[in-house]
Structure 1
């Protein structure tokens, strides 16, 4: 077993809740968000400066609640995505080096989802990314499965967890 390393003693997990986001340049941090159902998680990572972040976006358009968007902009695609990328650039990430993974956007309701929130969240996200010149490296959206994601800032490694198992993705390579 051995002794713990200094890094493991100081390692931190930051949990991003629904309608929230976090960015970091601390190599000892792992960002995590849980149970992405119809919500969409956007993970971005710059492997040169080791800056990354996760946005856990809940709805595609803030026009349904402009007041809520003022106090919780990460809840909506149209307000959260610009804030998320500005925050990454504020930590010296370079937009041309950002590697992006999109996860979630599922239809997890037992009955048919007439509002198609997962699909609309995914489309709003992909439309924003394309319009702003961001290339998506991994798109793990749709279906009927909840997803949990973890992003290790020091390594750029993503762990995607579903009821069926885990998948490892590198945003550093």
Structure 2
């Protein structure tokens, strides 16, 4: 089955026949986790770097890098018994706006936060296709671990 990860969501699968896809990433960031030993794959679709609600748990945990990455890593370890030293991690997305006056720089900020969190967990990761001014669609095949990235120039 092909699972589509929406903005601020995540999917984890251990079914060899599955694939997981995120369509049209621009400033959002996809973090892909793959365990080639246990054949478990996961994707998170991050929209913003940090949850501004510091008083409690985020309503949309996976929408934010700071709360989402911690949650998906915990779920992989506790529910799927993934050994983090086996895991392959890919970071994709984080495009910039073509607007030179973009004060928010969400893509850049998303990438910075993702890098920081993964490094804090002492996790090695590869940035396959990040930054720039393009839309990306990424798909992971669970059985093989094959990662496919398709790009298209942004027109905004």
Q: Same fold (TM over 0.5)?
A: yes
Q: How many residues are matched?
A: 152
The 8 Å contact of residues 51 and 153 in structure 1, kept in 2 or not, is answered as yes
Q: Which residue pairs with 1:101 in the alignment?
A: 90
1:156 aligns with 2:145: yes
**1: CA distance, partners of 2:53 / 2:130:** 24
The CA RMSD over aligned residues, in Å, is 1.7
Specify which structure has the bigger relative contact order, considering alpha-carbon pairs within 8 angstroms and separated by 6 or more residues. 2
The 8 Å contact of residues 76 and 82 in structure 2, kept in 1 or not, is answered as yes
Structure 1, unpaired ranges of 5+:
1-11, 165-173
**2: CA distance, partners of 1:114 / 1:162:** 25
**2: CA distance, partners of 1:106 / 1:65:** 26
1:28 aligns with 2:20: no
Q: Which residue pairs with 1:121 in the alignment?
A: 110
Alignment of 1:19-58 (within 5 A): 19-58=8-47
Structure having the larger proportion of residues in helix: 1
The 8 Å contact of residues 108 and 145 in structure 1, kept in 2 or not, is answered as no
Which structure's CA Rg is the greater one? 1
The 8 Å contact of residues 43 and 102 in structure 1, kept in 2 or not, is answered as yes
**2: CA distance, partners of 1:48 / 1:127:** 26
The 8 Å contact of residues 24 and 91 in structure 1, kept in 2 or not, is answered as no
Structure 2, unpaired ranges of 5+:
none
1:126 partner SS: helix
The 8 Å contact of residues 97 and 105 in structure 2, kept in 1 or not, is answered as no
TM-score by length of 2: 0.90
Q: Which runs of 4+ in 1 moved over 4 A?
A: 64-67
2:85 partner SS: coil
Deviation at 1:139, TM superposition (A): 3.8
Deviation at 1:163, TM superposition (A): 1.9
TM-score by length of 1: 0.82
